[in-house]
Amino acid sequence: MTTSRAGSQESAVKVLTGCISIVVVLVAWQVSASSGLVDASYTSSPLEIVKAAAELVTSGELAQNLPTTLFEFSIGYALAVVIGVPLGMLMGWRLRVRQVFEPLLYALYVTPSLALFPIFVLVWGIGTTSKIAIVFVDVLATVVINAMAGVQETDARTLRMAHAFGAGQMAQFWKIIAPSAMPTTVAGLRLGVGRGVITVIVAELYGGVVGLGVMISAYGSSFNVPPLIVLALLAGLFGLIVGSLLRRIERSVFRWE
């Protein structure tokens, strides 16, 4: 009890000190912008950004664009998880499957997927589908590689134990390999969120009709800095929330680590 109390106090202190540093930066930023110390047309200022955010919300511009980006990300990400986790685990478990898919996946993992984007656009057009596809490809590689690593890290002694107690191949997979691979697999899901968010927005920058990336591209080319920063912050915030949600799940489910 006392330790968890001390722990929550400790984390409260951590949050507080984190806030202080942010506030200091914001105040310094505002002061230097309004005093003319820096050129506010490049850097904008916290107050301008808040104003721009309010405008993006009230004008309905955000409501028009955000759902598309979220949709593209969510579908691409979900497909990558649904296919990537089983595929990665299978690759870790079965040498033959690994031999077939590993070169392809590593190639995919290191290739800047944006290089492939023009092809995706040729195939699926400039709309939503090509973005889902590119998010899928990018997240898939991350998810597969981590799920595979998780399986390969399974303790051989635990497997031997299961075998000694009469576990067949399937029982060994479901009762030993899959649970012991979960922490690394979920870490891969978390990394995948970061990659997916970056990819969907950058892909929209390339070309599109609606979406956060399209807005960023538009404001960027008209040198309208405050909404640009709002959108960048929004993307960061989204990644942060989903990422820390997954981290929370990791911590509560995989307490044995």
Partner 1 sequence: MSHITFDSVKISYKTSDGEVEAVGDFSAEIQKGEFIAIVGPSGCGKSSVLSAADGLLKPAAGNVYVSGEPVTGPGHGRAMVFQDASLMPWRSVESNVAFGLELRGVGKAERLRTARELVKLVGLEGRERSRPSQLSGGMRQRVGIARALAVDPEILLMDEPFGALDAQTRESMGMELLRIWENDRKTVLFVTHGIDEAILLADRVLVMSAGPRSRIVEDITIDLPRPRTREVRVGREFQVYRSRLSNLLFGEQDARTTEPATR
Footprint on this chain of partner 1 (rule: CB under 8 A): 155, 157-158, 160-167, 171, 175-176, 179-180, 182, 254-257
Cβ proximity to partner 1: between 16 and 164 the closer is: 164
| Size (the chain), residues | 257
Q: Which residues contact 69 (CB under 8 A, 6 or more apart)?
A: 200, 201, 204, 211, 212, 213
Q: Residue 129 or residue 158: which is nearer to partner 1 going by CB?
A: 158
In order, the DSSP letters of 131-197 are HHHHHHHHHHHHHHHHHHHHHHTS-HHHHHHHHHTT--HHHHIIIIIHHHHHHHHHHHHHHHHHHHH
Least distance (Å) between residue 164 CB and partner 1: 4
CB of 177 to partner 1, least distance (A): 11
CA 185 to each of CA 8, 108, 148, 238: distance values in angstroms, whole numbers, following the listed order: 28, 18, 8, 21
Smallest distance, partner 1 to C-beta of residue 69, A: 36
Residue number with CB closer to partner 1 (160 or 251): 160
Q: Which is nearer to partner 1, 182 or 225 (CB)?
A: 182
Question: Quick one: 51 or 163, whose CB is closer to partner 1?
Answer: 163
Task: Report in angstroms how near the CB of residue 7 gets to partner 1 at its nearest.
Answer: 17
Residue number, 121 or 182, with CB nearest to partner 1: 182
Nearest to 136 by CA among 200, 70, 207: 200
Residue 73, classified by CB atoms within 10 Å of its CB into exposed (0-12), middle (13-18) or buried (19+), is buried
Nearest distance from C-beta of residue 256 to partner 1, angstroms:
4
**Minimum distance between the CB of residue 150 and partner 1, rounded to whole angstroms?**
12
Assign residue 2 a region (left: φ > 0; alpha: ψ between -120 and 50; beta: otherwise). alpha
